[in-house]
Amino acid sequence: MTEISANLVKELREKTGSGIMDCKQALKENNGDIEKALDYLRKKGLATAQKRSGRDAKEGVVQSYIHMGGKIGVLVEVNCETDFVAKNEDFLEFAKNVAMHIAAAAPMGLGPEEIPESVVAREREVYRERALEQGKPANIVDKIVEGQIEKFYKDSCLLSQPYIKDPKMTISDLLTDAIGKIGENIKIRRFARFQLGGE
């Protein structure tokens, strides 16, 4: 078994915010390989998040973010299970990061069910016309359109968008990490984004 140095534990802890014992265990399980230990902790966080997802989350904060110059503003409601966690620095940081992401990435809704059907129908029509104009065979146009709609949802829905500070993660991954780190069920309940002169 590889001897795990305190510096290695410290490095992993700084990267993940996980507890000392969790970091030590992750490094032991992965023979001191920090990248594998990171993956190990993320999977553990995912398992923890899934266990907690059924629990009520009725406390939390309404986080605001105003982009420089006051041209874009965001309000986002992020819920947790207890008032204690609602005041926790990591929880508040998570809520602030989500608000900043919404300001930058302009999602249309949390998930596909929140995007108006009229918007999806218009996108579908545009993709269909484009595929036909490109001379794609009629029998594969529907598949092309469905693929484009999937991509549209991924780009337009908050939970599936790549996180602006780390595009290797989605907002859903960020949420899962926060649940694993904080130890409570957390939900992004709703948001509103305002842009000066916008609708």
CA distance 98 to 82: 20
Averaged pLDDT, 136-145 = 88
Contact 186, 179 (CB under 8 A): yes
Q: What is the mean pLDDT of the chain?
A: 86
Domain limits for position 77? 59-110+157-195
Where does 17-88 have alpha helices with state H?
20-29, 34-52, 83-86
CA distance 160 to 155: 7
Are 147 and 164 within one domain?
A: no
The answer to whether position 34 is within a domain reads yes
The answer to whether position 188 is within a domain reads yes
Angle in degrees, CA 10, 13, 19, rounded to 5:
115
Are 12 and 39 within one domain?
A: yes
The answer to whether position 1 is within a domain reads no
Are 162 and 184 within one domain?
A: yes
CATH number of domain containing 24 = 1.10.8.10
| pLDDT computed for residue 2 by the predictor | 59
Specify the number of domains making up the chain. 3
Residue 146's pLDDT band (cuts 50, 70, 90): very high
CATH number of domain containing 146 = 1.10.286
Q: How far apart are the first and last CA of the chain?
A: 61
pTM here?
Answer: 0.69
Are 105 and 21 within one domain?
A: no
pLDDT higher than threshold 90 for residue 153: yes
Query: pLDDT of 50-105, one tens digit each?
Result: 555 555 667 899 999 998 788 999 999 999 988 888 899 999 999 999 999 999 99
Which helix (H) or strand (E) segment is 79 a member of? strand 72-80
